[in-house]
Structure 1
């Protein structure tokens, strides 16, 4: 654990990130984070994975975490059977997410689906003993959710929706309310992306009307609600919902918030505000939002999936306002990101934006050359 804490402290110093800013970004109590970093408490698997992603440690922090183990029984070896399967699933989630944050979901989605389906087949065969059933169901539900997200980023809409629905069902069977909320949020996100605004609004309403829903879950529900309202043209209510999400961001660190919500941060909210403004036809107002979201994402993952996503969103806003000088600079940075990030969702949006730019009569020749170069790379 000392090695883990020392490595985290070194990475925080290297990136100029304070402990309190880290706690806020990851939705963890600063006192707990301080105990972990100073070697007084063992980090959870979720915290190790979250820090690994935030600090771009490429799995190093996950590997440095010392698993909590009981003294082995005489003759016992490494974990086998159901307990070993659950440990494997948890480790797979951490590594899949670390890869996704840097490179996007395209290359690892098949691996996630393979692990999820293999473990779910054991449930379907009745091969999981009753004593371990709840924990096993919960672990498979998380795997299904991760597989769904990676499929979503790969633009495999039907497959990702199936995975999210399976995750929701498994979480309910496990009695894992936090994972059930996660699956519902992912379904709402899917609805916004695929034009099911009504479904996203129904899910948001369900989450917002449930008793004792944690603050961060309510924040997510308002965020999805805002994007769905923007899609159906109710821009005033859309921006009001997103303002409510932003107001909740400062107050939403709570012991009741699930650990998986660490990624809900200022960059996420700001980006959704920009997207809502774009949908409302207010591209000029969207530009500073997109710039800020890109700045925040780049601070943590300068060459990662989020940086590509917000770069493409910013390019769309620039192109709409015919800000050609800014388009040129953004295209240069996007071309570099395309060398490593395999997010088909961002690449598809990029291709659409490039086609729109290529048809603009006032686009300078230098910009059009970059458009053609980027189109070949995407």
Structure 2
């Protein structure tokens, strides 16, 4: 009697793991970390790794985690078995009922730790699923934790930490709403979060929330509002370089929207100079994403808003190349690059980007990237100068989205 033949995807999982020299326990740890399932024991995942590699059942809820851990595309890793896009289950995000207070436990130091762990899980899941999918989960956490402060259902000694952790949850939730293009909700949430952070004395988080307000003002084309926020923060002084770089980026963008080219480019140059100092011990934990690629994005957008699309194209291209399709942010970079190529009439390269986007359409999801793609392809379809092949490909992408 011959043994059961393993599915090709199961063989691939074992091959990719062994290629990297990881044990099954290490694989389990990396899967857990990939989606921030901080409350899920590694041992329970470890037992499933064996079953998955032997093809006993398909790792449907963990397929995305495998793709992240290996740095591969799901479709490439699993072939025809790749699951359709679906939101993460609540059990995978939260791991237990502790954060939602469903088990009647007191709001103590362990509860505060659970909120902070869940905040990190939500950030990781945002990179995987995007704001539209993860926002309802984050809002559920925030709307459960926040009232506990008003009702004083907590141990007195954890008041400040609970306030700070809940303020951070509010910031994460506001970002997810922004990413999902739910701007009214984002605006309300960030104000609630900022009040909590200020009351907790968490100046680092309050600065992050102010940067969010400035970012949203720019998105809503309110540059004077964004400039008032950035000027107040920057003129207050005593900022570590990476935080200063972020606010100089926001300032540069605001000035570009207002048509002040010289001051806009000077602010962006100051951002680059501040970032060149590297990571410091005093940098807030949330500054991990403030890097050269982020500055390149802002410089590209500033050039575009100044009407300098020819200079914007290579900058958008550089940003897109840095995370080519590797995340939801990479897809937004592609959408912005496509917009720039259409502006300069580079139809050949625009068609290449549209074709690439067609292959990614199933993973773009709702939110800002999809909205910008729809806006640009609608313009292409209406543009009499666009070659018919480009218009046809754009129409195909519109239908896929």
Query: Could you say which structure has the greater relative contact order, defined with CA pairs below 8 angstroms and 6 or more residues apart?
Result: 1
Q: CA deviation at 1:213?
A: 1.2
Indicate whether 1:371 and 2:397 are aligned. Answer: no
Task: Give me the TM-score of the superposition, normalised by structure 2.
Answer: 0.73
Give structure 2 stretches of 5+ with no counterpart. Answer: 1-15, 21-32, 39-64, 71-104
Q: CA deviation at 1:354?
A: 1.3
What is the number of residues matched between the two proteins?
Answer: 309
Indicate whether 1:349 and 2:372 are aligned. Answer: yes
For the Cα contact (< 8 Å) 2:107–2:155, is it kept in 1?
A: no
Give structure 1 stretches of 5+ with no counterpart. Answer: 1-9, 15-42, 59-78
**Deviations 1:27-69 (CA, angstroms, capped at 9, x unpaired):** xxxxxxxxxxxxxxxx9xx9x9xxxx9x9439xxxxxxxxxxx
Map of 2:69 onto structure 1: 57
| Aligned positions of 1:1-378 closer than 5 A | 56-57=68-69, 81-298=107-324, 302-378=325-401
| Distance across 1 between alignment mates of 2:307 and 2:269 | 18
For the Cα contact (< 8 Å) 1:305–1:343, is it kept in 2?
A: no
For the Cα contact (< 8 Å) 1:102–1:341, is it kept in 2?
A: no
| Distance across 2 between alignment mates of 1:243 and 1:295 | 22
Task: Give me the TM-score of the superposition, normalised by structure 1.
Answer: 0.77
Structure 1 residues 227 and 343: alpha-carbon distance in aligned structure 2, compared to 1, 3 A threshold: farther
| Distance across 2 between alignment mates of 1:157 and 1:287 | 27
| Distance across 1 between alignment mates of 2:257 and 2:375 | 18
For the Cα contact (< 8 Å) 1:266–1:296, is it kept in 2?
A: no
**Deviations 1:236-277 (CA, angstroms, capped at 9, x unpaired):** 211221111112111142222101100011111001100111
| Distance across 2 between alignment mates of 1:332 and 1:267 | 24
Farther-moved stretch of structure 1 (266-275 vs 350-359): 350-359
| Distance across 2 between alignment mates of 1:195 and 1:130 | 43
For the Cα contact (< 8 Å) 1:230–1:279, is it kept in 2?
A: yes
| Distance across 1 between alignment mates of 2:237 and 2:291 | 24
| Distance across 2 between alignment mates of 1:272 and 1:192 | 11
SS of alignment partner, residue 133 of structure 2: coil
| Distance across 2 between alignment mates of 1:57 and 1:147 | 25
**Deviations 1:151-196 (CA, angstroms, capped at 9, x unpaired):** 0011111110111111111111001111111111111101111122
